[in-house]
Chains A and B, each alone.
Chain A
Amino acid sequence: MSQLNDGLLQLRYRWSFKKFLAELLEKRWMDGIIPFGIMVCVILVFGSQVENYFSPDVLAMTAREFAEPGFVALAMAVTLISGGIDLSVGGMFAIINFLSLMLTHIYGWPALAVVPAALAVGALMGALNGFLIGFLKTRAFLTTLVTMIAFRAIVKLLNLEFAPKIALSAKTTFYESTVWDYMGDGSFLGIPSNVVILLVVAFIGHVLLTRSRPGWRVYAVGGGRRSARHVGIKVERTIFFVYVISGILTALGAVFYAARLDSAASETGMGLEILALMAVVLGGVSILGGKGTPGRALMGIVIVMVITNALLRLGIDSALNSLIQGLILLFAIGIDVKWLKHLYASIEKIYVVPTYLSLPKALDPRPGSGTVFEFNDRLKDAETIGLDQIDGPEDVILDRQGRLYGSVRQGWIVRFSGDDFSKRDIFANIGGRPLGMAFDRDENLVVCVGGMGLYGVRPDGEVYKMTDETNRTWTRLKDDSRIRLADDCDIAPDGKVYFSEATIRYKMEEWPVDGQECRPNGRLICYDPATDRTKTIVRNLIFPNGVCLAHDGRSILIGLTWKCDVLRYWLEGPKKGRIETVISGLPIYIDNINRASDGNYWLASVGLRTPVYDLAMRMPSFRLRMVKFVPPDEWLYPNVNWGCVIKFNEQGDVLESYWDPLGNYAHVTSMREHMGYLYLGGLHNNRIGRIKIQGADPEWTGPDSYWGKK
């Protein structure tokens, strides 16, 4: 009954919407998904309202009208991303429009010459903004506001001077030029010419911004001028060029506008800046800078243009129209601000999702309990090696020459040599957090490095990467292709490295949080040096930690820390690829597993199960609230101050246990037998210990048992 009950509870907590949501929000494309949704809705809603909205020629017409603001939106987007803003786009737009008409109508330039000229002038005007904002460090908003007024005034003046000429030059009422007309009316495969150009430009811009150094600089500057400057980016220059580009893009739009309408109106581009601003913000380009892409800007412009255009075509009166636009703008910016402000906080809030785990009643380890786990003092007089010379040797291992290696917090592999291990040197500096280790056939040291992956160290101390990613699980929302917390490894006779990844949801230093969550977040991965391929072979394990190849080399043992189980994964034989439980419900939290000389296995315990913690494991919501409301330093923990080492046999019977009453080996995360001695390491210990084992084979060494005598 209770079994069934447990099962049900497990199911109930297995899948969690909050977990799904948290991992969803983590996705970078989430920022883009919202504007996209809005866009689709808007198109459907208004499209259904306006008659024959989707008929090809109408669509083409609309698209043509969208394109020119589209360019301006791109310009606005670039400036916003760089942490600025360009309100003078409208003015520039008008000037360029007028200029190109002047050149075509009055001076009769060929269109092919007009375009570059216009772009050049646009760049020039942008350069003015850029110089003021970038180098003189004026405030973007006011500066561009002023230049906007100035540009507008200039347009007016030009207009007074030339508009009548353009207008009254009767014979050139319509400036005839195939190129010009193509720009204005032509289309390519049914797509209006300016739309084609817009898409091309947007694509190039996207690639440049998101995939090239200059682009990254723009994002960096927008994300934070200070940091950008501190990392040595030339902020001034970057900003300058951003505004130049903004000018060019605007100019491009204006030329197309001129080609389409042939109108030198001084009202041209009135309110275009607002339109563009609205668009890009709606598209999810943050006004706080450093966020957004050209693609999103285009989405935004589509949204805005659909709305305004539809409102106009529905004959909505102008006032209501502007009211709606204003509300949309307000809404968009509000969302934008709030989204950025709260996104990460809310992810933090809901990321940890504890699940239900019911452990069987544990054997009593207390003194006088008479169980195999009964507390004893067998580790009391262990010799200490490298006392206070070593910071947390998670794993220890010895090579054929009897040198002792420890993987320590600083990211080193520390080596002790000499007959009393008095000589200490740093064998290799890998970085990350080196954890489990194993020697391969050629005496390369294979190391699991927390936060980095699986690395190898040649006998001469040269470090080389073996793998740091595996095949992604497509059914999972969270990208688990990177290896975040490789924990312990062992090597099969065929040279394949089997290693455990404790959790894919948390970083190295967050492992206790995973303990609170207690989800099957871990997995067993196999790396084959021969083919250099990495493959996940077992998923959904609860913090798999120790990995040890069975003596016969036909199966591997996996220790699940929080589940207190030892599993066996068959590499060959009838049960090949199958998993079976060897031991379940130990009273201790399992860490590394290693071979013993007598054909049994050593198992290190990182800590003890306590009754209250077991109870907490059966009350996920309690743990959730604890993680939320209690300061991390006061969280309930497994008792990691009393570690021990136990020995068990192939059948999974626990044979004996070793305890330290002094607490010098507060917790033991690893142990190796070597020449009749047992060496002890601990994740937070300040020493390596060793004790003489009664009745152990004094000749036995790890490498021999794996790769035979040399």
Chain B
Amino acid sequence: MDQPKKKRVMVWGARIICVLGLSLFISNVAVAAEIAGISGSSAELHKHYDKSLRGKTIGFVPLALGSPLMGSWDYNMRKEAKECGMIYKVKDPNWNAQASAQAISAFIAEGVDVLVAHNMNMQLLAKLLRKAEKKGIFVIQINMVSNYKTDVFVGADWYSIGLRQAERVLKHCGKGTGKSGKVAIMQGELTSAANIEQVEAIMSVLKNHPEIKVVSSQAGNWDSNIEHDNMATILKQHPDLCATIGIWGISHLGAAQAIKEAEMTDQVLVVTSGGGSVQICDAIEAGLIDVYFNYQSLLQGHDIMAAAKLLLQSGLEPGQAKIALFSPVFEITKKNSSYSCFPYPFPEEMMEALKIDYPFLPISE
């Protein structure tokens, strides 16, 4: 069967898994509750909550810290872990494959309770993650799903984002719009799961519309400079470009700049996606970007913690659950750009929140 259909099936499959997983998980909690003989009062819940969470460690291995996306994850996990008395550790491999493998195995060696992995590609960490689960560690993967499905996946649903991006482009350049229908796709890292899925989704839509011509589909390695130069060239070559689709807003800003320099901001529709940091909203205000699909990395951070809490309380063994939490995606345009982004780097008062020492009740038997 042809790729896109297969994909769509997969995605739907994923969603079903997700729903099933949730139900399964709820039933689990019920079971757990029964075993724990809880009457249902909040105090009892609280006791259960504290018992299963407090003092547990959660380890985080991002690709690298220092970008809004991973920064916001880091921020939320740090904060919420502190709130529920969990110990939060992060090891920063800074885009280095060996290093992230090292970090994971270091966490395994140190024996954390929950391991949050941001996978560089589809199977860099697969084997290690399996090892971790074998060692009794819950594993949460974020944004880039590895081909080894661990307990929980938290992240953007690239495929649907891709579909929605394509739809918007169709609306702008498709039949009857009288535009050239020329579209440029600015890819990121060609082997990253996100990239693969999103691009496939986009193509799966666009290829059913002959009036749309994809004039360029190049990888910019998440680098705004490369995207800038490429876009400049493309524009010279296709002055009638109708739209450009970017995978990651931050790097796509480069392309947007190029369009601005060519004074074609009105003509070219700039569609991209990302975690929704303030720079993007500024760019939308400035008219550099027209449509932005925001999968709200701050919320993702929260989801990660939620998933961690669920797993720890569920009484499941690592490897039993198969849960996917696809992030809600908001479409940001000029209309809502004023309030839809989070500031980055985080303002002082937000950082203050990390310094609070939260009061804890003693765990009563």
A–B touch (CB < 8 A): the answer is yes
A52 to B124, CA, bound (A): 26
Question: Which residues of A lie under 8 Å from residue B108 when comparing CB positions?
Answer: 61
Asked if A170 is at the interface (CB within 8 A of a chain B CB), the reply is yes
B128 adjacent to A261 (CB under 8 Å): yes
Given A163-B121, A312-B99, answer yes or no on A58-B109 (Cβ-Cβ < 8 Å): yes
A261 adjacent to B124 (CB under 8 Å): yes
Within 8 A of A (CB), among B92-121: 92-99, 101-103, 105-106, 108-110, 120-121
Output the least CB separation between A9 and chain B (Å). 62
A160 to B221, CA, bound (A): 13
Asked if A138 is at the interface (CB within 8 A of a chain B CB), the reply is no
B101 adjacent to A312 (CB under 8 Å): no
A318 to B196, CA, bound (A): 28
Question: Which residues of A lie under 8 Å from residue B95 when comparing CB positions?
Answer: 267, 270
Within 8 A of A (CB), among B114-144: 120-128, 130
Output the least CB separation between B265 and chain A (Å). 32
A318 adjacent to B65 (CB under 8 Å): yes
Question: Which residues of A lie under 8 Å from residue B109 when comparing CB positions?
Answer: 52, 57-58, 61
Centre residue among A167, A184, A308, A321 by max chain B CB count within 10 A:
A167
B126 adjacent to A262 (CB under 8 Å): yes
Nearest neighbor of B106 in chain A, beta-carbon distance: A313
Asked if A49 is at the interface (CB within 8 A of a chain B CB), the reply is no
A312 adjacent to B93 (CB under 8 Å): yes
B130 adjacent to A312 (CB under 8 Å): no
Asked if A168 is at the interface (CB within 8 A of a chain B CB), the reply is yes
Question: Which residues of B lie under 8 Å from residue A166 when comparing CB positions?
Answer: 123
A513 to B250, CA, bound (A): 74
B196 adjacent to A164 (CB under 8 Å): yes
A265 adjacent to B121 (CB under 8 Å): yes
A270 to B121, CA, bound (A): 15
B127 adjacent to A262 (CB under 8 Å): yes
Question: Which residues of B lie under 8 Å from residue A156 when comparing CB positions?
Answer: 190
A263 adjacent to B124 (CB under 8 Å): yes
Centre residue among A51, A174, A269, A318 by max chain B CB count within 10 A:
A318
Asked if A315 is at the interface (CB within 8 A of a chain B CB), the reply is yes
Q: Which of A163, A170, A318 is B93 in contact with, Cβ under 8 Å?
A: A318
A271 to B102, CA, bound (A): 15
Output the least CB separation between A593 and chain B (Å). 73
Nearest neighbor of A260 in chain B, beta-carbon distance: B127
Interface of A is mostly: helix
B110 adjacent to A267 (CB under 8 Å): no
B96 adjacent to A315 (CB under 8 Å): no
B91 adjacent to A160 (CB under 8 Å): no
Question: Which residues of A lie under 8 Å from residue B92 when comparing CB positions?
Answer: 312, 315, 317-318, 321
Within 8 A of A (CB), among B67-104: 89-99, 101-103
Number of residue pairs A-B, CB distance < 8 angstroms = 114
A264 adjacent to B98 (CB under 8 Å): no
Asked if A159 is at the interface (CB within 8 A of a chain B CB), the reply is yes
Question: How many chain B residues touch the partner (CB < 8 A)?
Answer: 37
Nearest neighbor of A60 in chain B, beta-carbon distance: B109
Nearest neighbor of A257 in chain B, beta-carbon distance: B98
Given A65-B102, A309-B106, A313-B106, answer yes or no on A263-B97 (Cβ-Cβ < 8 Å): yes
Within 8 A of B (CB), among A121-163: 156, 159-160, 163
A265 to B122, CA, bound (A): 8
Asked if B64 is at the interface (CB within 8 A of a chain A CB), the reply is yes
Q: Which of B98, B101, B110, B123 is A167 in contact with, Cβ under 8 Å?
A: B123
Question: Which residues of B lie under 8 Å from residue A164 when comparing CB positions?
Answer: 122, 191, 196
Question: Which residues of A lie under 8 Å from residue B12 when comparing CB positions?
Answer: none
Within 8 A of B (CB), among A185-206: none
Asked if B344 is at the interface (CB within 8 A of a chain A CB), the reply is no
A159 adjacent to B191 (CB under 8 Å): yes
A621 to B127, CA, bound (A): 70
A263 adjacent to B101 (CB under 8 Å): yes
Within 8 A of B (CB), among A289-344: 308-309, 312-313, 315, 317-319, 321-322
Asked if B217 is at the interface (CB within 8 A of a chain A CB), the reply is no
A313 to B111, CA, bound (A): 13
A163 to B219, CA, bound (A): 16
Question: Which residues of A lie under 8 Å from residue B110 when comparing CB positions?
Answer: 51-52, 313
Given A312-B93, A315-B90, answer yes or no on A159-B190 (Cβ-Cβ < 8 Å): yes
Question: Which residues of A lie under 8 Å from residue B125 when comparing CB positions?
Answer: 261, 263
Centre residue among B64, B102, B125, B128 by max chain A CB count within 10 A:
B102
Given A51-B110, A261-B101, answer yes or no on A170-B147 (Cβ-Cβ < 8 Å): yes
Output the least CB separation between B124 and chain A (Å). 4
A308 to B102, CA, bound (A): 10
Asked if A266 is at the interface (CB within 8 A of a chain B CB), the reply is yes
B191 adjacent to A174 (CB under 8 Å): no
B122 adjacent to A267 (CB under 8 Å): no
A270 to B125, CA, bound (A): 16
Given A262-B127, A312-B99, answer yes or no on A321-B94 (Cβ-Cβ < 8 Å): yes
Output the least CB separation between A121 and chain B (Å). 20
Asked if A346 is at the interface (CB within 8 A of a chain B CB), the reply is no
B103 adjacent to A312 (CB under 8 Å): yes
Q: A365-395 toward B: CB 8 Å interface, digit per residue (1/0)?
A: 0000000000000000000000000000000
B106 adjacent to A174 (CB under 8 Å): no
Given contacts A65-B98, A164-B191, A312-B106, 20 further A-B contacts (CB under 8 A): A52-B109, A160-B191, A163-B191, A167-B147, A173-B123, A173-B148, A174-B148, A184-B127, A260-B127, A261-B127, A261-B128, A262-B126, A263-B101, A263-B125, A264-B121, A265-B124, A266-B191, A270-B96, A317-B92, A318-B92
What are 19 A-B pairs at a CB distance below 8 A?
A61-B109, A159-B191, A164-B191, A164-B196, A168-B122, A174-B127, A261-B124, A262-B123, A263-B97, A263-B125, A263-B127, A265-B123, A265-B124, A269-B98, A270-B97, A312-B91, A315-B90, A317-B65, A318-B92
Q: Give me the interface of A with B, judged by CB distance under 8 Å.
A: 51-52, 57-58, 61, 65, 69, 156, 159-160, 163-164, 166-168, 170, 173-174, 184, 260-272, 308-309, 312-313, 315, 317-319, 321-322
Closest 7 CB pairs of A and B: A318-B94, A167-B122, A267-B97, A263-B124, A265-B124, A58-B109, A262-B127
